[in-house]
Structure formats: C-alpha cells, structure tokens
Structure 1
C-alpha cells in the first residue's frame, strides 16, 4: 500500500475544466473550475436571470 504522503505528492496538477489553467488549491477539493471561470459563470448566470428585458 502506498503511503498517503506519497500519494498526494505524486498527484498531477488540477486543471480548470473550462479554460485548462492550473488550479492552485488542495488536490482533494471538489472545485473543477478556476476562480476566474467561476466568477465569469456566476456573472453570466446573473445576467441571464436578472437582467432579462
């Protein structure tokens, strides 16, 4: 069995599912998008739902 420290040390860098940029956070995080893409998606959703004319 692989020691837990070796397992986490050998994980590949996480990449954003939207833009491919490396995500600098803990590997066990559930986030799939970088903070820039999360902000853009939130603003796009806001515009779609609240700024309809």
Structure 2
C-alpha cells in the first residue's frame, strides 16, 4: 500500500477548468477554477442579477 504522503506528492498539478492555468492549492480541494476565474464568474453573476432590476 502506498503511503498517503507519497500519493499526494505524486499527483499532477491541478489546472483551472476555465483558463487552464495551474491552481496552487491543496490537491484534495474540490475547486475546479482558479481564484481569478471564480472572481470573474461572481462579478458576471452580480452584474447579470442587477441588470434585471
């Protein structure tokens, strides 16, 4: 059985699903987008919501 530290050390770098940049975070995180893309998506959603009013 592989030690847990070896398992996580050998994982490939995570890439953002939106822009493809490497995500610098813990491998066990469920995030699929980098912080910049997350912020842009939040801003776009905010603008869309407030334009309807």
Q: TM-score, normalised by structure 1?
A: 0.93
Q: Deviations over 1:10-45 (max 9, x none)?
A: 000000000000000000011100000000000000
Q: TM-score, normalised by structure 2?
A: 0.93
Structure 2, unmatched stretches of 5+, are none
Query: What displacement does 1:52 show?
Result: 2.9
> Residue in 2 aligned with 1:33?
33
Q: What RMSD in Å do the two structures reach over aligned CA positions?
A: 1.0
Distance 1:52 1:15 in 2: 33
Moved more, 32-41 or 43-52: 43-52
Structure 1, unmatched stretches of 5+, are none
Residues matched between the structures, number = 53
> Residue in 2 aligned with 1:16?
16
